[in-house]
Chains A and B, each alone.
Chain A
Amino acid sequence: MERMIGIDELRPGERRSVFVDDVPALVIRLAEDSWHVIEDVCSHDGQPLTNGDISDCSIACPRHAARFDLRTGKALCMPATEPIRVFRVEIRDGAIWAAP
């Protein structure tokens, strides 16, 4: 697993761009103990999800409003039909670790 970020570096509600195995990814801290690491590429248009709106444990693509579940990567609405990758997350040694 790769170390992504220290727990203290993000507050609940914040996110940070990182790389997992050279794949652009997004670390999202939804709440105190709710961390998600997703591939930061929309499966519809192949461009970043980085600054997309996050609500109900899902992220929206800022361009065409496709929405993806942060837990499973599942595409929740059109125009996306394919899921995005989500990375396995571990919290240890005061940091967030992720693996493909």
Chain B
Amino acid sequence: MTAATADINRIGFSSEIFEQFLASRQEPAWITEKRRAAFETYQTLLAEELDPEEFKRVDLRIFNAARFRPFAAPTDPSAVSALLRDRAEFGGSIIHRDGHADAAMLADSLRAQGVLFGSLAEFLSSHRDLLEPRFLQQAVKPDSDRFAAWHAAFWTSGTLLYVPRNVEVALPLHSLIAHTRDGVADFSHTLIVLEDGARATLLEETASASAETAGLHVGCVELIVGRDACLRYVQLQNWNEKSWHFAHQAGCVGSGGSLQWTAAGLGSRLTHIHQDVNLEGRSATAEVNGVTFAGNRQKISWYTQQHHRQQGTRSDLLYKQVLRDDARVVWRGMIKVDPAAQQTDGYQRSDALMLSDDARCDSIPGLEIEADDVRCTHGATTGRVDREQIFYCMSRGISRKEAMHMIVEGFFRQVYDRIPIEIVRETLSRTVQSKLGIETTGL
């Protein structure tokens, strides 16, 4: 029998689309030059196979890039239902609609202390010296893979948070990335820079205006945490189930710094997140929390790496995944320890709870250790809901739905307990109820 050939023309954007995109932008020449360099890299990478270690379990055959385009004109402000917005007091907020930033706000007291928060594109123009050495240079490199290069060439809008040395941003900041129109290709970027001794919290969420609009998000998150600085970053991915979501996300933590990173994968048709945590200074720490709830035919893939580069660093990753219907979740995690990173303490764990016969979860933890005085442990579990637990609850007058909710809630409890921000815990809990089909109010 002759072999079939795969069509690779569905996976990316052509040079014509790139030129149209550039013509729609009004940017300084140095940004345009960087875009052109990234597009060259992108074209090279587009012709190459994706790294099989990372992508062999992510089936991209259904993905068709030709259905999506960046929108040149901003969208009319319209109501987008979001999980976190309006549920707490924020020190600043920004909204991105279809790749265009608007409605940025920052408290005057923070602005007076030198905090920068708002549209990344505007700040790149006005603060080039400060941001150019960090933007797509330090945490995520455009040549990392096809999606990173695609993003670097086409990034549309983005959020910048810059906190000067020893400044503490007490109230959390909020960013909403929304899709309102069908066929939108959105390449939003998040860049957070905390100088030495600074502290801040950013809550970021994604949403679709309706369940019917198909969207593409090729995102990038860069978290740069200075010496003795402390960043809490939360991202709730809640696209509708017609959206495609690819992202390169990386955090770099300096000496004595700490990063607490919570990522939730709730929506999208297909998500693939490449998440790196780089512990670059002595005694840097990172705690990574992941919550996934996938149903129907959703496919959510996480590729995580905890990279210990210096002595005395500590990382702790815990992912909890719940699957129902025909959903599929892939988690592939790696702890990497450089020869210099003695006295490393690294931990990673992923637990999956299956609510149906047809769901599938692949959990693949890994260790790559080049130092000889470390403690690195990892583990993964996958299991079904115990029918006896359901029966026990029902025998005490609890409905099957409520019993299922109690069990799922209990399963997620371990990761909720690690999240110190109450509205995030509460929001995740309500969203899980909603996905289980339990009535919620005020969501």
With an 8 A cutoff between CB atoms, is B1 at the interface?
Answer: yes
Which listed residue (B3, B56, B360, B362) contacts A50, Cβ 8 A? Answer: B3
Q: In the bound complex, do residue B3 and residue A51 qualify as a contact, i.e. CB atoms below 8 Å apart?
A: yes
Of B57-65, B77-85, B387-395, B423-431, the one with at least 4 CB within 8 A of chain A: B57-65
Q: In the bound complex, do residue A47 and residue B2 qualify as a contact, i.e. CB atoms below 8 Å apart?
A: no
Category for how many chain A residues contact B? 20 to 34
A interface footprint on B1-28 (CB within 8 Å = 1, 0 otherwise) = 1111111000000000000000000000
A interface footprint on B248-260 (CB within 8 Å = 1, 0 otherwise) = 0000000000000
State the Cβ distance, B375 to closest chain A Cβ, in Å: 32
The prevalent SS among residues of B at the interface is loop
List residues of chain B with CB within 8 A of the CB of A16: 4
List residues of chain B with CB within 8 A of the CB of A48: 59, 61
Q: In the bound complex, do residue B62 and residue A47 qualify as a contact, i.e. CB atoms below 8 Å apart?
A: no
Q: A81 CA to B7 CA in the complex, in Å?
A: 30
Residue of B nearest to A24 (CB): B61
Interface contacts (Cβ under 8 Å), in number, total 43
Which listed residue (B1, B62, B328, B360) contacts A15, Cβ 8 A? Answer: B1
Q: In the bound complex, do residue B56 and residue A17 qualify as a contact, i.e. CB atoms below 8 Å apart?
A: no
Which listed residue (A15, A26, A41, A51) contacts B59, Cβ 8 A? Answer: A41
Given the contacts A46-B57, A46-B362, A48-B61, A26 and B1 also touching, CB distance less than 8 Å: no
Q: In the bound complex, do residue B62 and residue A24 qualify as a contact, i.e. CB atoms below 8 Å apart?
A: yes
Q: In the bound complex, do residue A15 and residue B57 qualify as a contact, i.e. CB atoms below 8 Å apart?
A: no
Q: Which among B3, B4, B59, B61 has the highest number of chain A CB atoms within 10 Å?
A: B4
B42-97 contacts to A (CB < 8 Å) = 56-57, 59, 61-62
Category for how many chain B residues contact A? 10 to 19
With an 8 A cutoff between CB atoms, is A35 at the interface?
Answer: no
Given the contacts A19-B62, A46-B328, A47-B56, A14 and B2 also touching, CB distance less than 8 Å: yes
Residue of A nearest to B56 (CB): A47
Residue of A nearest to B269 (CB): A22
B319-365 contacts to A (CB < 8 Å) = 328, 360, 362
Which listed residue (B4, B62, B362) contacts A26, Cβ 8 A? Answer: B4
Residue of A nearest to B330 (CB): A46
Q: In the bound complex, do residue A17 and residue B6 qualify as a contact, i.e. CB atoms below 8 Å apart?
A: yes
List residues of chain A with CB within 8 A of the CB of B360: 46
Which listed residue (A13, A15, A46, A47) contacts B4, Cβ 8 A? Answer: A15
Q: In the bound complex, do residue B59 and residue A46 qualify as a contact, i.e. CB atoms below 8 Å apart?
A: yes
Q: In the bound complex, do residue B6 and residue A50 qualify as a contact, i.e. CB atoms below 8 Å apart?
A: yes
Q: In the bound complex, do residue B1 and residue A47 qualify as a contact, i.e. CB atoms below 8 Å apart?
A: no
Q: A24 CA to B299 CA in the complex, in Å?
A: 14
With an 8 A cutoff between CB atoms, is A54 at the interface?
Answer: yes
State the Cβ distance, B8 to closest chain A Cβ, in Å: 12
State the Cβ distance, B364 to closest chain A Cβ, in Å: 12
Given the contacts A41-B59, A46-B328, A47-B56, A15 and B6 also touching, CB distance less than 8 Å: no
Q: A40 CA to B59 CA in the complex, in Å?
A: 11
Q: A15 CA to B5 CA in the complex, in Å?
A: 9
Q: A53 CA to B59 CA in the complex, in Å?
A: 21
Residue of B nearest to A14 (CB): B2
Q: A47 CA to B362 CA in the complex, in Å?
A: 12
Which listed residue (B1, B7, B328, B362) contacts A54, Cβ 8 A? Answer: B1
Q: A86 CA to B331 CA in the complex, in Å?
A: 29
List residues of chain B with CB within 8 A of the CB of A23: 62
Q: A23 CA to B328 CA in the complex, in Å?
A: 14
B interface footprint on A22-60 (CB within 8 Å = 1, 0 otherwise) = 111010100000000000110001111011011000000
List residues of chain A with CB within 8 A of the CB of B56: 47
Q: A28 CA to B57 CA in the complex, in Å?
A: 24
Q: In the bound complex, do residue A13 and residue B59 qualify as a contact, i.e. CB atoms below 8 Å apart?
A: no
Binding site for A on B (CB under 8 A): 1-7, 56-57, 59, 61-62, 328, 360, 362
Please provide the 8 A-B residue pairs with the shortest distance between their CB atoms, ordered closest to farther. Answer: A51-B3, A54-B1, A24-B61, A17-B4, A15-B4, A14-B2, A50-B4, A13-B1
